[in-house]
Amino acid sequence: MNSKKTETPINSFTLAELIEMAGDNRQGLMRECITASSGSQMEIFRFPCRIDACVIGVGTEGETKVSLNLREYRLKKDSIFVFGPKNILQVHSDKYFKADVIVISPDFMRRINIDLKNMMPLFLQFAANPCLTLSPEESLSLRSFIAQVERETRGPETQFSYDIISGLIAATIYKVGDILNHYLADHPAEQNVAHNRAEEYFKQFIRLLGDHFRTERSVGFYAHQLCITPKYLTTLIKRISGQSVSEWIDNYVILEAKTLLKYSNMSVQEIAYYLNFPNQSFFGSYFKRNTAMSPSQYKALH
């Protein structure tokens, strides 16, 4: 078998890499959080890419269409969008669009003192509905939080910069949670049952899945990493998300496969090897079982 490494066409960027691409030479703490008023005319997002960062934004002018994990959304003025790390993002529309955005590295997010027990159920709602329309008052309020973070990150780093910036970001995240709480109160049909201690396991599982789904598709692997039994992991994940561990794994693998089939020049065999299947036939059976069509059929339709 040819041992030549096949490269994925789905570019991945860390926050530090995005800062460098923007020509910003900031260092230290300031490389873990950036804020900006940005347009949609960014070449980098014309094709599917992953950003290993948390993105919170509020539309201020114009509108655009984006895809998050191949699902299309429309962003416009006074819309809030929240994207988690390692999701596949693509900007479709060439229409003029600006937004106030805050982008936070996962490491920085993990160090912020946030009450995940109360916040995680809310952000699980955002995972299902990453773009919502705000009232003008909510939009202005959230933009003021982002603006305050921007003022602090633009200044020189001082002895208390970390505490100030982490506190402001935590306040911004709580503000997002408050806005979502109000939205769910007005749209009770969209609420899920509140979850409790399974939330931390779910968060860790999703982080592990994002790192290992190309090479590890067994429930046992993720349970071992979390130091719990496969049965217990499956029970927890099913309770909090409505999907089993195997379904989550399949969703990640199939999403990656669909994106490669749709946007890359890789052959079905190359994709099979890239996703760590033993051969093209095994990959084809797996893909068809999850999509009701073969990889070649899906590629021909797109």
Distance CA 283, CA 268 (A): 9
Q: Summarize pLDDT for 14-24 with one digit per residue, the tens.
A: 888 877 776 66
Q: Please report the pLDDT score of residue 6 as a whole number.
A: 46
Please, are residues 83 and 68 in contact by the beta-carbon 8 Å criterion?
yes
Q: Please report the pLDDT score of residue 162 as a whole number.
A: 87
Q: Please report the pLDDT score of residue 193 as a whole number.
A: 43
Q: Given the DSSP bridges, would you call strands 49-52 and 97-104 parallel, antiparallel or unpaired?
A: unpaired
Q: Please report the pLDDT score of residue 230 as a whole number.
A: 94
Q: Please report the pLDDT score of residue 194 as a whole number.
A: 41
Q: Please report the pLDDT score of residue 197 as a whole number.
A: 63
Phi and psi based region of residue 172 (left: phi greater than 0; alpha: psi -120 to 50; beta: remaining)? alpha
Q: Summarize pLDDT for 38-53 with one digit per residue, the tens.
A: 544 445 677 788 888 8
DSSP single-letter state for residue 51: E
Q: Please report the pLDDT score of residue 153 as a whole number.
A: 83
Distance CA 250, CA 41 (A): 33
> For residue 185, what are the CA distances in angstroms to 111, 122, 182, 189, 192?
30, 12, 5, 9, 12
Q: Please report the pLDDT score of residue 127 as a whole number.
A: 73
Look up residue 87 and give its two tokens. Answer: 């999701």
Q: Please report the pLDDT score of residue 213 as a whole number.
A: 93
Q: Give all domains of the chain, ordered by start, each with its CATH number.
A: 11-190 (2.60.120.280), 198-301 (1.10.10.60)
Q: Please report the pLDDT score of residue 114 as a whole number.
A: 78
Residues of the chain with pLDDT under 50: 1-7, 39-42, 193-195
